[in-house]
Structure 1
């Protein structure tokens, strides 16, 4: 009777081991899902960051084009450049979630002549892309100094 009582004493132990294994694997799966979500957010941030940089560079290029095309300084082109908002929104996927603000400032060296200018481009990208609040708002600002 001793062997039979040992078998009855071990009943249900395999069920407990199976439940523990299921719980451990469930926790492992939950951690993997969370890591995948963090990786996805990181990718979204990197793409938005690059878009903001490209939008700011586009603003600088547009401002330089306006200054050099008109062969003028900030004073004569202030209505064209200073505080100018370059709207890059649209239906396309490129820089559709970005906006750029340009400003131009005349820098005066010791001689007092306005030969130096500083062009600033501030780009914001993010919110509103694909109608999702998960996208971060990224701001990039670039400055270029030029001499005439």
Structure 2
């Protein structure tokens, strides 16, 4: 009865058959949008996992390089009394250490030494360079440490 009294309101009510299928495009847009969001999250989580692994390998490489530098200092100065002996040790140093200790497995350190002297040739200056590497294939961490020392 209300519709008979208000003919203008009757025009506002549309036929349900004409509105059929309106939600299908909306559902497709939502589905595609959510799919892109899932793909983006998946890629980000994969990159985060890789970067975390490389960060861990980098920390291990730092400790390998530090251990190599300590080894080099030990080889340079252990039981040395004269500057000539220490100079000879520096010249002979050039080694690669492959670690087997837990925490440094799959790590190595390349240790080298360079020597220079002052103008009056009374003091020798030594630079021990240690390059630590950990990992394999595409996931590799590298760190380099330089240690300076001198002897008169």
Q: TM-score range by the shorter chain?
A: 0.7 to 0.9
In structure 2, C-alpha distance between the alignment counterparts of 1:107 and 1:91, rounded to whole Å: 34
Alpha carbons 1:74, 1:104 under 8 Å: kept: no
Secondary structure of the structure 1 residue equivalent to 2:88: coil
Quote the offset at 1:91 in angstroms.
8.0
How many residues are aligned here?
138
Tell whether 2:112 aligns with 1:126: no
Is the radius of gyration larger for structure 1 or structure 2?
2
2:96 to 85, 88, 93: 85
Q: Which residue of 1 aligns with 2:4?
A: none
TM-score by length of structure 2 reads: 0.77
In structure 1, C-alpha distance between the alignment counterparts of 2:68 and 2:142, rounded to whole Å: 13
Q: Which residue of 2 aligns with 1:130?
A: none
What are the equivalent positions in structure 2 for 1:1-148 lying under 5 Å apart? 6-71=15-80, 72-76=85-89, 78-79=91-92, 82-88=93-99, 90=100, 92=102, 94-113=103-122, 115-127=124-136, 133-135=137-139, 137-148=140-151
- Classify 1:18/1:143 alpha carbon distance in 2 versus 1 (closer, same or farther; 3 Å): same
TM-score by length of structure 1 reads: 0.79
Alpha carbons 2:61, 2:141 under 8 Å: kept: yes
Quote the offset at 1:138 in angstroms.
2.8
- Classify 1:134/1:144 alpha carbon distance in 2 versus 1 (closer, same or farther; 3 Å): closer
1:46-103 superposed Cα distances (whole Å, 9 cap, x missing partner): 1111111111100011111222223141414644xx2111111x484x1112111111
**Any gaps of 5 or more consecutive residues in structure 2?**
1-10
Secondary structure of the structure 1 residue equivalent to 2:130: strand
